[in-house]
Each structure stands twice: as structure tokens, then as C-alpha cells.
A = this chain, B = another copy of it.
Amino acid sequence: MLVVMERGATSEQVQAVVRRIEELGYMARPMAGLQRTAVAILGNQGSVDAARFSDLAGVKALVPVTEPFRQASREWQPENTVVRLPGGVTVGGDEVVVMAGPCAVESERQIVDTARLVRDAGATVLRGGAFKPRSSPYSFQGLGEQALVWLARARQETGLAVVTEVMDTESVELVARYADVLQVGARNMQNFSLLRRVGRAGKPVLLKRGYAATITELLLAAEYILAEGNPQVILCERGVRGFDGATRFVLDLAAIPLVHRLSHLPIVADPSHGTGLRGTVVPMARAAFAAGADGLLIEVHPSPEHALSDGVQTISTGEFAELMRQCRAIAEVVGRRVAEPVEVG
């Protein structure tokens, strides 16, 4: 249960609600959202009678929350969260957004050139790894801050917003200095210290589903960020572990309509990591939009066969341009439109 406070409720009024909850034998947890404050009642069995709070000033309503996540649930906020990126692009509204770029930033030229190519084809956000989580300590781990500088340069040249991964609490500040969206990778979905830290970084967060995480666990991970006061969370389906080695992961597109039913947060799909197989990336990208995804995170490289990492799942800029054409048509079928790049200079 949530005791939802009136918009202008004072902290004294909130404290009175907390005391009342504790008098009833439950635990109270105030949660300050952007749009309203509420106090969660924890430890109760079944529903709590609203009449117990009717004499308290500043109380608007008692809302039942059946899911373990609270601020992430549709019950807490019925209307869609719309995340606004620099340059005017929105995620979670009428627009669907395409985030494209190489797996890893390899050189200034590579990232600036790719940024131009994907922008011209219709992407509005540039992706590119500066810090790369790799299973082996001996694999290429990204170029670090140098890559961040080049990403910022690519933004300057193209007007594209930049999304890039942050791997640990120590580098959140550094990455936030350059990036427009902080990406938390699948392996870190339950790195709770990192979630709390990006919740305080003041930038939108792209949170990838862990590859053995349930939808409930994904939304609880988002709740860690929301609970720190950051409502700008974009979820990302990127494939779960399966038993058939033919694809690297199983892209679970049903997660998209499911998240839309349970939560107000936007969700995008990553068909590149989600299948790990170039021939399936384009069909699954189309499928993601048809399933209602709010956007796409996709690996594009001018010459995939020369990419330093993940070449096998990266499409060429030519394939990408054709895909964009198809995505525009599919977005229209589901009553959306692909966000368009802004003019720069």
C-alpha cells in the first residue's frame, strides 16, 4: 500500500503519516517522487483501511501496489515516463528512437565518421563503448577517457546525443561529464552500489536487463535508481540465456509489451547483443518495433569485419540505412514515428 500525499504536502504532514503507520504496527518508507510524495506501508498482510488516515492533513489517497516494485509500477504512475534527451529527442512518447554506433570507440575518425553515417540514415543517439566489460581480463577493454572525448567530439559534429556504458561507481562522474545517457550493462544490472550512484548522477540511465533476470528483477533494479530521485530510466531488453548455442542469447521480445503493462518506463531493444548473429539483427530490429519497443540500440560499423570487438553481430551502415527505411514504415503501423535527427550548424 502507498499513502499518496497531496502535491503541496509538508514534511510535517509526511511525518504524521509515518507515525500513524508505525502505530498500526507496520513499517513506513517515505518515497519522494518528482511528481508526488508517498509513504509506502511495508510489512502488512492484505490491504490497510483508508479510514485510518482520513483524519490526517495532506493525505490524498491510499493506493494498492501489488508488485514488489513501487515507483516503477503503472499503479504508482499510470502515464508513460517520457525521457528527454539533449537535442529534443524523447524516449517513451510518440517517437521511437534509434541509438546506433560501433561496439567500441576505436579512434576519433572512426567514431565521428560512423556518427555522421548513422545520423544521415536516421539515428538520433550515438552509442559507442569507452569502457568495455569483457569476460576475459586479456580482451580489449576499451580506450577509456580518450574515447569519451572523441564521443563528445562526435556529438559536437553531428548533434547526436551520446549513450555509453559506465562500469563502476568510481567512473560515474567521469562518464557523466561526457555522456548524455549513462548505460548500465547487463552484467551490472544487480550491482546495487552502481545503481544507487547513477541514481544520483543527474543524467538519464539506460538500464540493460541482466541475461538471467526476470522482468520483476529488472523493474526492481530500476527501482534502485528511481528511489534515489532519478526518474529518467530507459530499460533495455538485450537477450536472455538459452539452451541453443545457435544464437548467443534469446531476445525476449515479449518483455516489451509485458513491461509496458507493468510499468510506465520506456523500453528499447538491443538485437545486436540479443542474438549475436549478424543475419538475425535486422529481422529482430524490425520485430522489436513491431512488438512496440520505444527504441533500438544497435551496433553499426562502417566495416564490421574490421571492428575490434563484436564484429560478428555488427551490421554495416548500408544495411542500417535500409533497416531505418523499414523501421519508419513499421513504426507507422503501430501508431508511432521514428525520431528525426536535428540539423546541426
A292–B279 alpha-carbon span in the complex (Å): 12
Most B CB contacts (10 A, CB to CB) among A136, A169, A194 go to A136
Binds B, one of A111-119, A150-158, A219-227: A219-227
Hey, which chain B residues are within 8 Å of A29, CB to CB? 138
Q: When the two chains form their complex, are residues A258 and B286 in contact, meaning their CB atoms are under 8 A apart?
A: no
Nearest-CB distance from A187 to chain B (Å)?
4
- A190 close to B (CB within 8 Å): yes
**Quick one: given A242-B252, A257-B284, A284-B254, are A138 and B70 in contact (CB under 8 Å)?**
yes
Partner of A292, one of B135, B224, B254, B283: B283
- A286, B292: Cα distance in complex, Å: 9
A182 → B minimal CB distance (Å): 15
User: In the bound complex, what is the Cα–Cα distance between A244 and B210 (angstroms)?
Assistant: 12
Q: A190-B133, A258-B247, A326-B333 are in contact. Are A287 and B291 (CB under 8 A)?
A: yes
Binary flags per residue of A196-226, CB closer than 8 Å to B gives 1, else 0: 0000000000000011101111001101100
Query: How many copies of the shown chain assemble into the complex?
Result: 4
Task: Please name all residues of chain B whose beta carbon is closer than 8 Å to the beta carbon of A320 when the two chains form the complex.
Answer: none
| Chain B residues closer than 8 Å to A258, beta-carbon distance | 246-247, 277, 279-280
The residue in chain B whose Cβ has the minimal distance to the Cβ of A292 is B283
Contact of A135 with B217 in the complex, beta carbons under 8 Å: yes
Interface string of A244-286 (1 = CB under 8 A from B): 1111001111101110010000000000001101011001101
Could you give 14 example pairs across A and B, Cβ below 8 Å?
A: A135-B220, A136-B220, A137-B227, A170-B193, A214-B244, A241-B241, A247-B254, A247-B258, A254-B274, A286-B290, A286-B333, A326-B333, A329-B329, A330-B333
Can you name 7 extra interface pairs (CB under 8 A) apart from A136-B223, A214-B243? A29-B138, A42-B138, A138-B227, A169-B169, A212-B243, A240-B242, A242-B252
Contact surface of A with B, Cβ cutoff 8 Å: 29, 40, 42, 68-70, 133-138, 167-170, 187-188, 190-194, 210-212, 214-217, 220-221, 223-224, 227, 240-247, 250-254, 256-258, 261, 274-275, 277, 279-280, 283-284, 286-292, 326, 329-330, 332-334
